[in-house]
């Protein structure tokens, strides 16, 4: 049986692999969607002062049929116009689209951390905790950060009786841990220290950034599917082939955006939670404290302001929404967190089965 201490190494390999796949799929999808759109567009539009490719093909076919009818011979050759100029223009358009998306992605990576952090804090109605008034809490968080090798983080509170917590930000200036008031009131000092260590592990591993990358990829493919479907059924653009290709590409993007990537993101979220549990024990050296904290949290983890935000649900230490249906609980495909019972069992194994 694998030791829970191995989770960090395995999780990092999976994170690198999935992130590389996301980037490759996005660039590949942008190129082929742009190439297909340009090929379809230029086929029906005049190019370099010449008639459109479809017009030239139609004219050439008409001349072939007319010549064959006049001469009474079917041996007249039919030569379609050269597609080289059409393909060259389409490739140039596709590479420009890839370059534009790449530049936009770089800009987004620079700004997304502050934007996503601000959005998460505003959505949760989180309030910054004053350092002077909560010295002990900041001391506990600072100890966990020092053990994890990261800079001290900001602390926030959500005015809710539910017991939950999540981390935000992926840089030194934006990193923070959000705790509910119910968590502050319901846990002991050692249990709070264990929860802070759990969230600190998320920050060190870059799990917040990974969740944002998975969400962005899913949203991108969903957007591409809608664009492709609109293009495929655009009445101003003729051609059965264009419609078929647009529908097929749109269906592929829809499956990626609505099914494959979300399921992959949820699976990664479950792995990240188990990994953070294991690393929390390494940071605070008190598995029993984290076990007790998880037991208390499991009894009342519902937080109304977080329940309707899918991304934030995946970021919390426990799902802040009502219990899943029986089908979802049995399959586990759409679960954002592994069952609390399994997490506690793994922690007990780390503690020598106690």
Q: Residues 113-126: pLDDT tens digits?
A: 787 788 889 888 99
pLDDT the model gives residue 17: 72
* CA atoms of 118 and 128, how far apart (whole Å): 12
If one compares 217 and 324, the residue with the highest pLDDT of the two is 217
Residue 21 vs residue 164, higher pLDDT: 164
Other CB atoms within 10 Å distance of the CB of residue 180: 29
Give percent above pLDDT 90 in the chain: 23
Strand order in the sheet with 165-168: 127-128, 154-158, 176-180, 165-168
pLDDT band per the 50, 70, 90 thresholds, residue 76: very low
Average pLDDT over residues 300-318: 83
Determine how many CB atoms are found less than 10 A away from the CB of residue 48.
8
239 pLDDT more than 60: no
169 burial class (0-12, 13-18, 19+ CB within 10 angstroms)?
Answer: buried
Q: Quick one: what percent of the chain has pLDDT higher than 70? A: 66
Question: Residue 336, SS3?
Answer: coil
- Read off the pLDDT of each residue in 151-172 and give the average, rounded to a whole number: 92
In this prediction, residue 158 has a pLDDT band, given cuts at 50, 70 and 90, of very high
Instruction: List domains and CATH numbers for the chain.
Output: 112-350 (3.30.2010.10)
For the cut 60, the answer to whether the pLDDT of residue 164 exceeds it is: yes
d(CA 242, CA 277): 51
Catalytic residue check, 199? yes
| pLDDT bracket for residue 72 (50, 70, 90) | low
- Residue 50 phi/psi, 5-degree rounding, is -105, 160
Rounded mean pLDDT, 194-223 = 79
The predicted structure's pLDDT at residue 185: 95
pLDDT in tens, 51-60: 666 666 666 6
Predicted confidence (pLDDT) per residue in 246-287, tens digit? 777 778 777 776 666 666 666 667 778 888 898 898 899 899
The pLDDT score that the predictor gives to residue 49 is 58
Q: What is the pLDDT of residue 29?
A: 75
Q: Which of 72-76, 205-209, 341-345 has the highest mean pLDDT?
A: 341-345
Per-residue pLDDT at 332? 45
Annotated catalytic residue: which of 191, 193, 199, 273? 199
Q: Provide the pLDDT confidence category of residue 143 given band limits of 50, 70 and 90.
A: very high
| pLDDT-derived band at 48, boundaries 50, 70, 90 | low
Average pLDDT over residues 33-43: 74
CA–CA gap between residue 28 and residue 334 (Å, rounded): 27
What number is the average pLDDT over the span 77-103? 76
Query: How much is the average pLDDT of 141-156?
Result: 93
Q: What Cα–Cα distance (Å) separates residue 168 from each residue in 81, 124, 132?
A: 57, 11, 22
What is the pLDDT, as a whole number, of residue 267?
Answer: 61
pTM above 0.85, yes or no: no
Look at 247 and 77; give whichever has higher pLDDT: 247
Instruction: Find all residues with CB under 8 Å of 336, minimum gap 6, and list them.
Output: 266, 269, 270, 313, 314, 319
């Amino acid at each position: 049986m694998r030791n829970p201490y191995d989770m960090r190494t395995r999780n990092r390999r999976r994170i690198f692999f999935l992130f590389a796949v996301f980037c490759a799929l996005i660039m590949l999808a942008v190129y082929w969607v742009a190439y297909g759109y340009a090929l379809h567009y230029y086929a029906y539009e005049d190019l370099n002062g010449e008639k459109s490719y479809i017009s030239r093909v139609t004219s050439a076919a008409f001349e072939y049929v007319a010549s064959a009818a006049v001469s009474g011979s079917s041996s007249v050759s039919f030569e379609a116009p050269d597609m080289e100029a059409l393909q060259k223009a389409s490739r140039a358009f596709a590479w420009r689209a890839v370059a534009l998306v790449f530049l936009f992605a770089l800009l987004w990576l620079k700004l997304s951390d502050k934007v996503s952090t601000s959005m998460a804090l505003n959505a949760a109605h989180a309030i910054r905790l004053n350092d002077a008034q909560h010295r002990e809490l900041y001391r506990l968080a600072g100890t966990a950060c020092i053990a994890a090798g990261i800079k001290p983080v900001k602390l926030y509170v959500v005015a809710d009786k539910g017991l939950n917590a999540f981390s935000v930000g992926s840089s030194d200036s934006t990193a923070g841990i959000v705790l509910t008031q119910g968590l502050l009131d319901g846990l002991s000092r050692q249990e709070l220290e264990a929860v802070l260590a759990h969230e600190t592990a998320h920050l060190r591993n870059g799990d917040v950034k990974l969740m944002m990358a998975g969400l962005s990829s899913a949203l991108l493919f969903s957007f591409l599917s809608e664009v492709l479907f609109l293009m495929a059924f655009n009445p101003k653009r003729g051609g059965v082939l264009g419609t078929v290709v647009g529908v097929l590409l749109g269906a592929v993007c829809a499956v990626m955006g609505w099914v494959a990537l979300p399921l992959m993101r949820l699976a990664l979220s479950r792995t990240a939670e188990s990994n953070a549990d294991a690393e929390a024990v390494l940071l605070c050296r008190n598995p029993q404290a984290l076990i007790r904290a998880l037991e208390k949290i499991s009894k009342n983890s519902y937080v109304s302001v977080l329940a309707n935000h899918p991304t934030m649900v995946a970021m919390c230490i426990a799902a802040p929404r009502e219990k899943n249906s029986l089908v979802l609980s049995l399959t586990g495909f759409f679960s954002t967190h592994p069952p609390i019972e399994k997490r506690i069992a793994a922690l007990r194994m780390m503690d020598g089965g106690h």
